[in-house]
Chains A and B, each alone.
Chain A
Amino acid sequence: MQTQALRSFCTWLEHTSMSQTIQTVDWVVPAVQTIHILAIAALMGSALMINLKLVGALGRDQPLAHFSERSVRIIWCALPVLLVTGLIMIIGEPARSLQNPVFQLKMCLVITAIAITLCFQAPLRNNAGFWDATVARRGASLALAILSLALWIGIVFAGRWIAYY
């Protein structure tokens, strides 16, 4: 996506005083990227734990609802941090991010991953044992978890590739 409107928006953003500050103060970008990576670490750690729990590799002594509630809560705490630090990076280098096809792909993957997390979480609100109730639901929950973990891995990879495009 490379519209004229997007190009002029990037040019405008680049010249705002906030963007200029991010560009000129040396430590801002690496510091923000460090926080971004730490938030991804919290998110990926949780996503991995849910997956291992669903395949039965760990936490056999705990019910799924209890386990997933904690992990999903961590994911929802990490996402705003990722959004804010991500926005700071975008303001610092609008063209390199917004006009970058890899960045655009990453955002599509992020939206899909969030949608899947919501699909996983929603039924648990009214029925904590929802995903444990039938064999089919167990299978579905496992499929959702594997798909979301694959998406998060894709998001991490895309994130690193933004720098090379």
Chain B
Amino acid sequence: MQYDAILKSLEATAVGKAIGESESLFPWIECVHVLAIVLVVGSIAIVDMRLIGWGSRDRSVTRLTRDVLPCTWVAFLFAACSGALLFVSKAVTYGHNFFFLGKMLLLVLAGTNMAVFHLLLSHDVEHWGATPATTPLPARIAGAISLCLWICIVAFGRWIGFTLHPSLGAG
């Protein structure tokens, strides 16, 4: 099958082999991955909660996103790169893991939600005002969807580690 051949060739690359064979590379990259994800989720949650109306209501959405989202993007870049490195070291296993595939789908959904918000819902964001700002309902829904998706992404990510080697049970 074409898909399996691609996964196998990824594992056979120099990078894939180096990480797969090293005792300490995988955990170190995992540390960077966890740190990056924690910063992605921690920062994006600030924006999501502002959209929902749970926090930072004394600051306009425009100001808040200008402050926070650059951090989110930098952290996301690190998460994606470290995640790619982890993936190639065990591509065949991850490529057939339900929670890994689910996590990728959830990421696509989170990206779609964000695109819909930026392109369709936030055109009048400047007029949402600062205090006491209530965001429009579609923006609140987009924030809530984003928060739920990121919580699920963390959960799916953690479940990957427990479903790679069913006999071992933990990882």
Is the pair B171, A163 in contact by a Cβ cutoff of 8 Å? yes
Inside 8 A of A41's CB, which chain B residues have their CB? 37-39, 41-42, 45, 154
User: Using a Cβ–Cβ cut-off of 8 Å, how many residues does chain A contribute to the interface with B?
Assistant: 31
Chain B, residues 151-171, CB within 8 Å of chain A (1/0): the string is: 100110011011000000111
Inter-chain CA distance A40–B126, complex, in Å, is: 32
Contact of A30 with B162 at beta-carbon distance under 8 Å, contacts A41-B45, A45-B43 already known = yes
Q: How many A-B residue pairs have CB under 8 A?
A: 84
B151: nearest residue on chain A (CB-CB)? Answer: A38
Is the pair B31, A48 in contact by a Cβ cutoff of 8 Å? no
Inside 8 A of A26's CB, which chain B residues have their CB? 162, 169
Asked if A148 lies at the interface with its beta carbon under 8 angstroms from chain B, I say: no
Interface residues of B in 82-97 (CB under 8 A from A): none
Q: On chain B, which size bracket covers the interface?
A: 20 to 34
Inside 8 A of B161's CB, which chain A residues have their CB? 30
Interface residues of B in 1-52 (CB under 8 A from A): 27, 30-31, 34-35, 37-39, 41-43, 45-46
Inter-chain CA distance A49–B139, complex, in Å, is: 23
Asked if A52 lies at the interface with its beta carbon under 8 angstroms from chain B, I say: yes
Give, as a whole number of angstroms, the nearest-CB distance from B73 to chain A: 13
Inside 8 A of A11's CB, which chain B residues have their CB? none
Interface pairs A-B: 7 shortest CB-CB? A45-B42, A58-B67, A41-B42, A41-B41, A34-B155, A157-B31, A41-B38
Known contacts A157-B31, A160-B31; can you find 14 more A-B pairs with CB under 8 A? A29-B162, A30-B158, A30-B161, A31-B155, A37-B154, A38-B41, A41-B37, A44-B42, A45-B38, A48-B43, A61-B63, A156-B34, A156-B38, A161-B31
Q: Residues of B at under 8 Å CB distance from A?
A: 27, 30-31, 34-35, 37-39, 41-43, 45-46, 55-56, 59, 63, 67-68, 71, 151, 154-155, 158-159, 161-162, 169-171
Can you give 10 contacting A-B residue pairs, CB < 8 Å? A37-B34, A45-B39, A45-B41, A45-B43, A48-B39, A49-B43, A160-B30, A160-B34, A163-B170, A164-B27
